[in-house]
Amino acid sequence: MLIVPSSSSLKLAKSVAEISGSTLSDVERKRFPDGEMYVRILSETLNMDVAVLGNTRTDSDILEMLLLLNAAREGGAKRVIAVIPYFGYARQHMRYKDGEPVSSRVITQALDNSSDEIICVEIHDEQTLSFSSKPFRNLSAERSMTDHFMNHVPDYVLSPDDGGYDRAKKLAESIGTRAAYIFKKRIDPKTVEMKLPDIDFSGRTILLVDDIISTGGTIIKAIKLLRQAGASRISVAAVHGVFARDSDRIISSEVDELAVCDTIDGPYSTISIAGTIAGSLER
């Protein structure tokens, strides 16, 4: 297996290659004077199984992935796998207003053109999986989360809303503790009311867990509620740390620990998903 890293996932690609015993390709990258992107896979791809690993978080990330996948295909690869740790644009998996595109379908169909299979990690909405004509696997980060928190088990694993309760419950069961969720009610387009469950959080250790932290507004409100309720230690974890508007700086200043998976590289990406991805490539 040849691992070809996108610039969005260099560290993770290296870890996946080391764990799986695969070859990590070098990639030449540059920008032309007019701003156009150039990429070149520097390893031989003829008759190889090739996994191109990178995110679709930004417009530039998407273009780089498509160019690398096409380069592998044009280079005669036997099989091309698009490995996308963080599948950006997955929140636009349906048309909410007239005139909008279904963004995740557009990206999925573009990926289909040069890949034989797509692998992602905890995509925001599984509706996107149905947009592909190729095998599309959605990996769970549960094992990685469990390994990280097994040695410092909180009194409660808490989801910031009922939609994420299943994730919190599975993690709680894996590490041997209890789960609950915060009640969230939208009052109007700009106002959300949050209420803690009927639990005595005084002196308790809490792990708040979510799939994605972007602006962090919901998480920050949850932290404030738990502090007011007397929680002694609060940790925050997520699969994908997008951290828009420097929300990681704000959140980290309010909690005892902030940890996210390394699907997106960053200072708080301390939960490794590399083993899970490596295992999926061996199938």
Mean pLDDT in runs of 10 for the chain (283 residues)? Answer: 98 98 98 97 97 97 98 97 96 84 93 96 91 96 96 96 94 98 83 92 98 94 96 98 93 96 97 97 85
Query: Are the C-beta atoms of residues 231 and 254 closer than 8 Å to each other?
Result: no
Write down the pLDDT at residue 127.
Answer: 86
Write down the pLDDT at residue 187.
Answer: 81
CA distance 35 to 185: 45
Q: What pTM does this model have?
A: 0.93
Q: Name residue, tokens 């998903």.
A: 273
Write down the pLDDT at residue 10.
Answer: 98
- Residue (of 179, 126, 198, 144) closest to 12 by Cα position: 144
Write down the pLDDT at residue 282.
Answer: 87
Write down the pLDDT at residue 96.
Answer: 86
Write down the pLDDT at residue 172.
Answer: 98
Phi, psi of 170 (to 5 degrees): -65, -45
Write down the pLDDT at residue 26.
Answer: 98
Provide the residue ranges of all domains of the chain, joining segments of one domain with +: 2-140+273-281, 142-260
Instruction: Name the residues annotated as catalytic.
Output: 184
Q: C-alpha distances in angstroms, 218 versus 41, 61, 160, 185, 255?
A: 41, 27, 7, 12, 14
Write down the pLDDT at residue 90.
Answer: 86
Task: Could you please state the CATH topology (level 3) that the domain comprising 2-140+273-281 is classified under.
Answer: Rossmann fold (3.40.50)
> 2-140+273-281 with 142-260: one CATH topology?
yes
Domain 142-260 CATH assignment equals 3.40.50.300:
no
Phi, psi of 193 (to 5 degrees): -100, 130
